[in-house]
Structure 1
Amino acid sequence: MKGLYLVEPLVAFYSFASFLVYPLIQQYVYRRLWQELTNTTYPVSDNTSRCDPSNTSSHHEEVQKAASLFSLYTELFSMIPSLAVTLILVAYSDQRGRKITIILPLIGSLFYALSFLAVSFFELDLYLLIVSTFISALFGGSGTFLGGCFSYIADLCEDGQQKTLRMAGVDMVIGLLSGVASLSTGYFLQAAGFNWPFFTSALFQCFNLLYAVFILEETLQRPPDDPLDGSPRRTAMRQLACGVYQLFAGASRRRNILLVLLLLLFSSFSFANMGGLSMITLYELNQPLCWTEILIGYGSALSTTVFLTSFVGVTVFSRCGVPDLVIILMGILSVMAGMTLVAFAKTTLMMFLVRLPMLLAIMPFPVLRSMMSKIVSKNEQGALFACLACLDSVSISVAIAVFNSLYAATVTWYPGFCFLLSAGLCVIPLAMLAGVGLLGVEEGKEAKETEALIPGEEGLAGDENDNPPLT
């Protein structure tokens, strides 16, 4: 049977399986820590009892601190192995194919879901989850998986606008399926407990793995007369070093400065955005909101609609000729406004409404990926997305670790501090964006005749023999 060149089904099922349990993980850890620290049963039916300030036995702030520190430990133990695997695999895929960067993270995700199922079903020690997170990270994480998927798409798309829209489409698929999953988690948890959602997630990850192994076609084929010389590990490291070196060695200094600015813009924006988002569930569980699992599910589902609205925004603005730097600017300002409002949200209605200013928050990511993909040659796509996935993984992991530490330190006097910090940190990508704009000013006239996403791409690309343009 002929295979398919479609990674969108993989991304869809991966998103559904991941977000089916992602909102539940913090809730599960929160409830287990509640039972261990208070020696009482978590009050599910009467949600107000655990948030009553007059109830001194609740130790509410102590549980909040313990839950945030648990998330910190989890991120620290998963960051380094996931980062190393992402760097090696995605760069290595330039020569040996993209499927390995997709299959291995799916194996890790399946192990991760099964580990949560085992801990929940048999009521094992909670800290075994940190061990399982470390082991699953050895197969790569979401950064490896998405880096492989975006490299796969870059192999198939030659046209710049097509590449932008398809990458934005992947973000939209993530949003739609994660929204459906998040919406169902609260009802799933209330009706069946934690075991069935974890089991369902494992089933979807298993199906995804079968699709990747037996149905998905490889975009890059290794020639038969190109045997692997040396050990796979040594070859992978050599390909990684050569791929990253070629990203910068064969281009002009101006193009390299532009690429570095775009990478820093991407990672700093990811840090600010993900840092704030990672604390929303704990914030919703805290006083005075005290949300139930149903409300958390609704909130998570509403948050994921940002992927759909951002895709619509990228599509409409691109077709209307809005400059890409303006699209990125709107996305950054969207995050700044949303995070600022979250910091002052004290009612359920307000907490739902703060999602509205963030409806365009994902727009910068597909546009930046496409911009960077267009200024490197076709055989450097894997190295580019390896660097991008690496920076994204580092940014997200460090952001979650830093913001969990800050939340544990500030929850007693002002829980919204982390969200104000997230909004303030958006000034950094704004400064990077201004730098990109300044670099494009001198070459703007030459760029008007091209379809490039970046102003002055022709002037920045250097010599054609060193860095052939993508058409």
Structure 2
Amino acid sequence: MKRLYFVEPVVALYAFSSFLSYPLVQQFVYRRLWEQLTNTPYPVSQDSSSCAGNNSSNHSSFHEEVQRDASLFSLYTQLFTVIPSLIVTFLLVTYSDWGGRKMTIIMPLIGMLLYTLFFLAISFYELNIYLLIATSFLSSLFGGPATFLGGCFAYVADLCKDSRQNMVRMARLDMMIGLLTGVAAVSTGYFLKAAGFNWPLLTSALFQCLNLSYAIFVLKETVTKAPHGAVLVGESSPRRSGLKRMIFGVYEMFKNTRGKSRVVLILLILIFTSYNMAYAGGMSLMTLFELNEPLCWTEILIGYGSALSTTVFLVSFGGVFLFTYCRMPPLYIVLIGILSAVISMVLIAFTKTTLMMFLVHVPLFLSIMPFPVLRAMMSKIIPGTEQGALFASLSCLDSLTFSVSSTIFNSVYAATVGWFSGFSFLLSAGLCAIPLFILGVVGVIGVDVLKEEGQPVASLEDENENSPVPN
């Protein structure tokens, strides 16, 4: 069989199949917890709200308790999966530099297929839902979305000969991810309403089998493996080379950066991390909030909500292109993105109707902009030989921050859902004050540094030239 340098089908099938099953997890846990608590079937309504027609105080107390238990379930899942996933991601991505990119693509696909099959078995045989936590742990041993996307973007970078081609192909991958996850999220709602949990999970597993077959038998490797026992130039062994890059890469990055530039670099990293903490924490609670009173969204509406969330990536990247074309200073672009997230989180906290819940996504559309702009600004500060260390560090911080913030916000949500379910979103908006303050400091002390490094720095082409893994 002829092998191809064409990774786009792998990304497309991964995005569609993963979001065909991912939105089902919280809904499945929520329904099973409801049945265990009340000893009654979950109330399925033909109305836009599953709370319609049943607003008794007893019914409301059940919702509060199920919300609390479902939030803690998400917390336990994060605790058992974050560490192994991070370790495997580091090992696989490091190994791919000399062992080949396909391993970083195939291993997460295997883990995702195992998770979906076990999820299907738990649903079909009505097994204990806490087995999903063990299944998540098993899947994390094969890597996760960060491993897969890192491998795919590195694969594309290997094929691209110039920055323009690199930008176009990576932007195309981003667009495919956004569009297909949105289509899958909408499809899941109708699928679940018509056929229950088993059929969408089985369909997702079939797509994943097809995707895995393509990755193994059709996709061609881009990295030429060194002969067994070969030693890289300047290193004692390939393994030590990779280990050295992992351990000393970050140290060398800061060491080779000049005094004031080093301060600005640290401040930009703090902005990136603190904003990611606040934003990811709030977004991780969206489905639980939509399931709770007074919204009580059905499967269809949750699918539409998930689809809107995925369009945030597309619109935000479009906003960066537009603002950089108009030569807006990158610090202003970051400011607009953070403020859009603050406005959305505050509105979500006080949302009581379905229409309002859809409308709060409008300011949220620009909330992803700070991530690519900050990446581009940081890449302009450090020497060209340290780009890999920078983006490896950012990738680690991204994954770790998401897991930690999800854990913290799920704990806070479980503790506050009884008296004000929107408190966690206000907390998310309040935490955005930290990156806003640091951004102001950078604007005061770092303007000369940024100008020295050759502004404008917010170009997506520059970012994609330096980073194989966008946020």
Q: Which residue of 2 aligns with 1:144?
A: 147
| CA distance in structure 2 between the partners assigned to 1:87 and 1:261 by the alignment | 24
Going from structure 1 to structure 2, the CA distance change for 1:253 and 1:95 (only over 3 Å counts) comes to farther
**Aligned-residue offset at 1:253:** 3.9
Q: For the Cα contact (< 8 Å) 1:163–1:370, is it kept in 2?
A: no
Q: Which amino acid in 1 is paired with 2:72?
A: L
Code of the aligned partner of 2:36: E
Q: SS of the residue aligned with 1:322?
A: coil
* Preserved contact between residue 334 and residue 369 of structure 2 (Cα < 8 Å): yes
Question: Residue type of the partner of 2:44?
Answer: V
> What TM-score, normalized to structure 2?
0.86
Q: Is 1:119 the counterpart of 2:110 in the alignment?
A: no
Q: Judging changes above 3 Å, is the alpha-carbon distance between structure 1 residues 15 and 375 closer, same or farther for their aligned structure 2 residues?
A: farther
The corresponding residue for 2:269 is: 263
Match runs of 1:417-436 below 5 Å: 417-436=423-442
Q: Secondary structure at the match of 1:289?
A: coil
- Picking from 336, 346, 361, the partner of 2:342 is 336
How many angstroms apart in 2 are the aligned matches of 1:101 and 1:393? 16
Match of 2:203 in 1: 200
Match of 1:91 among 89, 94, 100: 94
Sort the Cα spacing of 1:276 and 1:109 in 2 relative to 1 into closer, same or farther, 3 A: same
Q: Residue 310 of structure 1: CA displacement? A: 1.5
Give 3-state SS (helix, strand or coil) of 2:322's partner. Answer: helix
Equivalent-residue separation in structure 2 for 1:437 and 1:381 (angstroms): 23
Amino acid at match of 2:292: N
Query: What is the SS of the residue equivalent to 2:51?
Result: helix
- In structure 2, do the counterparts of structure 1 residues 22 and 232 end up closer, same or farther at CA, with 3 Å as the change threshold? farther
The 5 A counterparts of 1:49-448 are 52-56=55-59, 59-155=62-158, 167-224=170-227, 227=230, 236-373=242-379, 380-438=386-444, 440-443=446-449, 446-447=452-453
Of 82-91 and 347-356, more deviation after overlay is shown by 82-91
Question: Could you tell which deviates more after superposition, 70-79 or 326-335?
Answer: 326-335
Q: Which stretch shows the higher mean deviation, 163-172 or 339-348? A: 163-172
Deviation at 1:186, TM superposition (A): 0.9
Tell me what 2:43 maps to: 43
Further displaced range: 139-148 or 35-44: 139-148
Alpha-carbon distance in structure 1 between the residues aligned to 2:323 and 2:438: 21
Give CA-to-partner distance per residue, 1:433-462, whole Å, 9 cap, x none: 3344445422455455x77549xx9xxxxx
Contact 1:75–1:401 (8 Å) recurs in 2: yes
Name structure 1 gaps, 5 residues minimum: 458-466
**Amino acid aligned to 1:81:** P
What number of residue pairs does the alignment pair up? 455
Indicate if the aligned counterparts of 1:82 and 1:137 stay in contact, CA closer than 8 A. Answer: yes
1:59 is paired with a residue whose SS is helix
SS of equivalent residue, structure 1 residue 44: coil
Kept in 2, the 8 Å contact 1:93–1:382? The answer is: no
Q: Is the 8 A contact 1:154 1:163 kept in 2?
A: yes
Cα distance, 1:351 vs structure 2? 0.7
- Tell me, in whole angstroms, the C-alpha distance in 1 between the residues paired with 2:228 and 2:259: 36
**What's the offset of the Cα at 1:139?**
1.4
Q: Which amino acid aligns with 2:28?
A: Y
Whole-angstrom CA distance in 2 between matches of 1:409 and 1:279: 13
- Distance in 2 (alpha carbons) for counterparts of 1:372 and 1:159: 21
What is the letter of the counterpart of residue 191 of structure 1?
A
Instruction: Tell me the alpha carbon deviations over residues 275-297 of structure 1, each in whole angstroms, 9 at most, x when there is no partner.
Output: 11111111111111111111111
Q: How many angstroms does 1:111 deviate by?
A: 1.3
Whether the 8 Å CA contact 1:265–1:432 is kept in 2: the answer is yes
Higher mean C-alpha deviation, range 294-303 or range 369-378: 369-378
Q: Percent identity?
A: 61
Give the 3 Å change call, closer, same or farther, for CA 218–404 of structure 1 in structure 2: same
What's the CA shift string for 1:9-50, capped at 9, x where partnerless? 333322222221222110000001111111111121362368
* Counterpart code for 2:342: M
Q: CA deviation at 1:302?
A: 1.8
Secondary structure in structure 2 of the residue aligned to 1:48:
coil
CA contact (8 A) 1:151 1:382 kept: no
* CA 1:401–1:84: 2 relative to 1, 3 Å: same
Which amino acid in structure 1 is aligned with residue 29 of structure 2?
V
Q: Is the 8 A contact 1:51 1:286 kept in 2?
A: no
Per-residue deviation, 1:157: 5.4
- Per-residue CA distance 1:374-410 (angstroms, 9 max, x = gap): 5556665554333222111111111111111111110
1 CA distance for matches of 2:221 and 2:441? 38
User: What RMSD in Å do the two structures reach over aligned CA positions?
Assistant: 3.1
In structure 1, C-alpha distance between the alignment counterparts of 2:317 and 2:362, rounded to whole Å: 15
- Separation (CA, whole Å) in 2 of partners of 1:322 and 1:157: 29
Q: Distance in 2 between matches of 1:435 and 1:154?
A: 34
Match of 1:9 in 2: 9
